[in-house]
Amino acid sequence: MIIRQKHVFFCVVLATSISLKAQQISAPKFGKGLMNISGKDSTWSMNFSARVQYLTSTTWQEEDGSYAGPESNSLIRRSRLKFKGFAYHPSLTYKIELALSNRDIAGGSSFTSDAPRIILDASVKWNFYKNWSIQFGQAKLPGNIERVISSSKLALVDRSLLNSKFNIDRDFGLQLKHKFNLNEKFIVKETFAISQGEGRNVSKGNIGGHQYTARLDLLPFGNFKSDGDYEGDDIRREKKPKLLIGVAYDYNNNAVKTRSNMGSYMTTDYGMFETDIKTFFINSHFKYNGFSFMGEYADRNTNDAFSKNSDGSLTGDLVSVGSAISLQSGYVLPSNIAITGRYTNINFDKIVTNNNDITQYTLGLSKYVEKHKLKIQSDMTYEDSMFSDDKIFYRLQFEIHF
């Protein structure tokens, strides 16, 4: 048995070495991926990278006028593998991102074949004509800016409460992207998407209708450095003011989940309750010489918020309609230490919950060792709720991204 295992190991090593001889492999510098591979005939390429976030959090909750606790928790918040490159021609690119941590892959159900939701992104994009491209597969929808910004490039430990309650996340479908210049500096970017409408990794559907999303970005002062419009702090220190103003609209026809393509399924005695859900976003992002400001507004509404059985009785599920605002500002010191503050307010309609007015105040401190590839971040949040006990959260996170 041992001899047989040695033979298998030898065959694997031999096959790998033979395969590698037929390719050009180089190890990039830190933060640029673990490996760059390109075909000998230059018909394909692959960049492979990995990242991990380690998170420790502590919570104090108000009870009878004083704060009880603390309650602490430590976990691997995110652990991911990423692959990107081109196939056949540089105009045909691909992206694959796989999740490994428990929180990333949670949410499996009969609609995902009772399997963990390991795949985050799996898409191909074809730049078929000048500034036009089309993307197919599972990817982030063009919704609120904070969601589109990678979790590895946030200015604070994690996204705001606005994002957790109103974002439209990922879905499987088709996206058409285009950009053009109004003048020498003013850039306009448009994205249109049609998707299944039930979230990522769904293998049994489409149950309701489809989801239609459009986003428009205006950059009056030109492009940010290295796509910095979709990066939290101004760690690249823009030498001239840069501004993004964006709007997005999402229409989920006959949606069957409580938060458009997110939340829980609205199950009834005859199948699924279906209702049209509309989500609207306004975003802005400004950067100049280490200073940054990001503002977001979200609003969700529907023609019928209450899930009903065939006899008209309520099932208990309802659409999370309401609005939210989040304002975030920060400054990166020359020592690459950043101070960031955020204000977030959530206003659900009263039909959703009595605790419909929630406000959070967050103050964060970050140290960027190698930009967002190697950093330590911490923040503290005070949450003021109308009909629940107030809370204080403290979070400490370390990220390494090869």
Domain contains 308: yes
Domain count, the chain: 1
Nearest-angstrom CA–CA distance, 177 and 192: 7
Domain CATH for 143:
2.40.160.10
- Taking the CA atoms of the chain, what radius of gyration do you get in angstroms? 23
pLDDT in tens, 73-96: 999 999 999 999 999 999 999 999
Q: Which two tokens stand for residue 340?
A: 């960031």
Beta bridge partners of 329: 293, 341
For the record, the structure tokens of 287 come out as 């950067």
Tens-digit pLDDT profile for residues 192-239:
999 999 999 998 878 889 999 999 999 999 999 999 999 999 999 999
Examine residue 19 and state whether it is found in any structural domain, yes or no.
no
Residues near 215 by beta carbon (within 8 Å), at least 6 away in sequence? 142, 143, 190, 191, 246, 247, 248, 249
Residues of the chain falling short of pLDDT 70: 1-26, 65
Which pLDDT does position 31 carry in this prediction?
87
CA distance 146 to 157: 13
Q: Per the domain annotation, does 377 fall within a domain?
A: yes
Q: C-alpha angle with apex 250: 84 to 77, nearest 5 degrees?
A: 45
Q: Do residues 352 and 359 touch, judged by C-beta distance below 8 A?
A: no
Q: What distance lies between CA 36 and its chain's CA centroid?
A: 25
For residue 387, what pLDDT is reported? 75
> Does residue 6 belong to any structural domain of this protein?
no
Residue span of the structural domain in which 44 resides: 26-401
**Ordered alpha helix ranges (H), 278-322:** none
Whether 20 maps to a domain, the answer reads no
Does residue 14 belong to any structural domain of this protein?
A: no
Residue 385: predicted pLDDT: 87
Do the domain assignments include residue 41?
A: yes
HSE-CB at 23 with a 13 A cutoff on CA atoms is: 16
* pLDDT for the residue numbered 355: 75
In a domain, 247, yes or no: yes
User: How much is the pLDDT for 5?
Assistant: 45
